[in-house]
A and B are shown apart, each in its own frame.
Chain A
Amino acid sequence: MTTDTLPASYLDDGLTLRSWLATTDHKRIAILYALAITAFFFVGGAAATIIRMELATPAGDLVSNDGYNKLFTAHGVIMVWLFLIPSIPSVLGNFLLPLMLGARDLAFPRLNLLSWYLYVAGGLITLEALLLGGVDTGWTFYTPYSTMFSNTYVVLTLVGVFVTGFSSILTGLNFIVTIHTLRAPAMGWFKLPLFAWAMYATSLILVLATPVLAITTLLVCAERLFQIGIFDPAFGGDPLLFQHLFWFYSHPAVYIMVLPAMGVVSEIIPCFARRPVFGYDSMAYAILAIASVGFLVWGHHMFVSGQSLAASMTFSLLSFIVAIPSAIKVFNWTATLYKGSIRLDAPMLYALGFVGLFTIGGLTGLFLASLALDVHLTDTYFVVAHFHYIMVGGTVMAYFGGLHFWWPKATGRMYPEVWARIAAVLVFVGFNLTFFPQFILGMEGMPRRYHAYPPQFQVLNLLSSAGAGVLAIGYLMPLVYFAWSLARGKAAGANPFGAKGLEWQARSPPPTHNFDAPPVVPAKVYDYHADEPEAEPVP
């Protein structure tokens, strides 16, 4: 809603297709990412739906076993590389980072657009591989199955992953340089919002871990096409060398997925509790600790793979240590609520949902880090439940929370509050119904990636499939009411929730150059006061 005196918002600044597809405005690129990511989210979700329908019955009667293998691989590849990893950094990060720092744009705007095109190119190559016939190696591509025994589109999928990987590296690079060089003059490192800290730590991992994935995919392709014999035991190669290289990336990758979610939650909880975040310094150090110690723990994926005893014990100890910063963050979020003035708006429901589910995900990770339990629990549905609690219960909940929290800022319109709360509760309930039974299935020993399973596991699988139905409804609702809100949502002022970040000092939706007047960096970050009467939102 732009008054005639002020310049047009970034949405109205050029309506041609070219102005969108050749934009270097970080806000438009964020919107482009949001559209692409939502499309891939529903493709991955469709694969998950069919998997859950198949698993409702013990016998493999809905799809063939090869079909099932291709489905869970498609679900894994699309959800990990085409949704979870880019979701918060590329959509919320791209949109908010310059605004939060008081900058006009990222350090390398053109590189940002190149990242989007690389992402879409990688996504389309992966999608093409799936449409041509799919790949059946699992998203982990373990050798020698992926190099010697799978006759599906492994190389094409890996090329897609390789290209998407470079999009991540360039986004990480862009964020690191932006946070270092484009902070507002008065914004020192310890006045950065925690979302910016989370983007910084995530970008460090993106830049330092993703290249190892790129070289691993390259080696698997070389092994498949030219039998170079690095991973093939017939030549004396070592399948565990692949696992080391793959997990060296893939464990930091799960921190790439969860750290941005922690950043979003650290913005939402203080705003709706009207309290500064408890222990800001320890939260910032915890974010950096998670990113750095996250590089040391990948071996806990290989406790039963034939890894040496000494290595397994080293990785087990380090995996316990990496759990400490996450525990600190959960305690700090809980303590932030103390003596607050709490309102359970939709973003807050998603944020508190995140805290609950991430806690369960993190604690079950401790089960898997202890060696003797991992021997029983690894490669069972316990692991499937564990990482879904962190990725879906954590990252997706926070992503939805962030979407709701900054929706007014991005579109200038409010989302329908009641429907949003219903959707949040539905997602929370549906999620627990879907994945909590899988913990028990894992305890009872149901292995992962099983197309057909013994009948004694059916009851819990049926419950899980039913829960997946509720979860799917919960995920579809925002699609509906966000579209409705675009057309007829209530006009949102610059700061509908009375939040404290710099981004709320810009108009909603902000002009292309972000700030009409240079933003004022507050003396204290998260300067909320629960004891004062609620300040009315800034028009």
Chain B
Amino acid sequence: MTAATLTDAPTEPGLDPDTGKLGMWVFLASEVLFFGGLFVAYLYGRTHFPAGWAEGSRHTDVLLGTVNTAVLLTSSAAVALAVACEEDARQRRWTARLLALTAALGVAFLVLKGLEWHAEWREHLVPGPAFALHVAGAQQFFALYFVMTGLHGVHMICGIAALGVLARGRSRERAWARARQLEAAALYWHFVDVVWIFLYPLLYLVDRHG
């Protein structure tokens, strides 16, 4: 099963455009397992505490959640466009701006998330002795909610940092900010977006018609 697309490898590492992409995809495979453990814990909770999950989900802010999802989807489209622009000679001037836009949307997402967390903190929805809801399992729901969105947030911060650095590097025509690095960073960003795509229904839309 020789990989058809990979040109017969020169023994010099790093010259083949696909190595970076393949490396990032293998890393994303490990990240799927990394978040996967949390989704297994979530599914355990949802099957064993349906009432707690529904009650907990009703107390999340669905408006902010939906807006955040839209922001992240847009940022994903923006970075895809940036990669496309980088490959086209005449559109290359847009790349740096699109990368900056993506990073800005990422920051907006984190700001909204911060507001949401603050609201929940004020409503005593943070697991602890003073936890507001008394349905069995609601505390686990919010515990997992904070762990999952927290871990996702950390990945967002890494993504924003990478995109910011690449945007500056690209605007200064740096050698390390070429199509290959952009595509790898874009893949990572799309992955973080896909994780949120699954977090959104699982955390916000468990039982809205209650």
Q: What residues make up the interface of A, taking CB atoms closer than 8 Å to B?
A: 101-109, 111, 169, 172-174, 176-178, 180-185, 188-189, 207-212, 214-216, 218-219, 222, 226-230, 235-238, 241, 244-245, 518
Contact = CB atoms under 8 A, between A and B. Distances in A.
The listed residue with most A CB atoms (<10 A of its CB), out of B1, B27, B41, B140, is B41
Given A109-B13, A181-B9, A229-B140, A188 B30 contact: no
23 contacts: A104-B12, A108-B13, A172-B26, A173-B30, A176-B22, A176-B26, A177-B19, A180-B3, A180-B22, A181-B3, A185-B9, A208-B30, A211-B32, A211-B33, A214-B34, A215-B33, A219-B38, A219-B147, A229-B139, A236-B49, A236-B140, A238-B44, A241-B40
B136 A245 contact: no
Given A169-B30, A229-B140, A235-B140, A107 B37 contact: no
A229 B30 contact: no
Contacts of A230: 41, 44-45, 140, 143-144
Given A215-B33, A229-B139, A236-B140, 20 more contacts: A103-B13, A104-B11, A173-B23, A173-B26, A176-B26, A181-B16, A181-B22, A182-B9, A189-B2, A207-B30, A214-B34, A218-B147, A218-B151, A219-B147, A222-B143, A228-B147, A236-B49, A238-B44, A241-B40, A245-B40
Contacts of B67: none
Contacts of B12: 104
Given A102-B11, A109-B13, A181-B18, A219 B23 contact: no
Counting from the closest, the 4 A-B pairs by CB-CB distance are A228-B143, A215-B37, A211-B34, A211-B33
B128 A209 contact: no
Nearest to A184: B11
Interface string B88-117: 000000000000000000000000000000
Contacts of A227: 127-128
A155 to B, nearest CB: 15
Interface of B: 1-3, 6, 8-9, 11-14, 16, 18-19, 22-23, 26-27, 29-38, 40-41, 44-45, 48-49, 127-128, 136-137, 139-140, 143-144, 147, 151
Given A107-B14, A238-B44, A211 B37 contact: yes
B41 A107 contact: no
A105 B147 contact: no
A125 to B, nearest CB: 19
Given A106-B13, A212-B36, A177 B139 contact: no
A210 B30 contact: yes
The listed residue with most B CB atoms (<10 A of its CB), out of A172, A182, A183, A244, is A182
A106 B1 CA distance: 21
Contacts of A188: 2
Nearest to B137: A236
B140 A228 contact: yes
A185 B32 CA distance: 33
A216 B140 contact: no
Nearest to A210: B30
A228 B26 CA distance: 31
B86 to A, nearest CB: 22
A176 B22 CA distance: 9
A219 B41 contact: yes
A103 B38 CA distance: 39
Contact of B34 (A108, A215, A228, A235): A215
Nearest to A228: B143
Nearest to A170: B27
The listed residue with most A CB atoms (<10 A of its CB), out of B6, B32, B34, B37, is B37
A113 to B, nearest CB: 14
A249 to B, nearest CB: 9
Contacts of A236: 48-49, 136-137, 140
A222 B11 contact: no
B43 to A, nearest CB: 10
A229 B138 CA distance: 10
A214 B3 CA distance: 31
B19 A107 contact: yes
Given A103-B13, A106-B13, A236-B48, A207 B140 contact: no
Contacts of B35: 215
B18 A229 contact: no
A123 B40 CA distance: 29
A310 to B, nearest CB: 17
B155 to A, nearest CB: 13
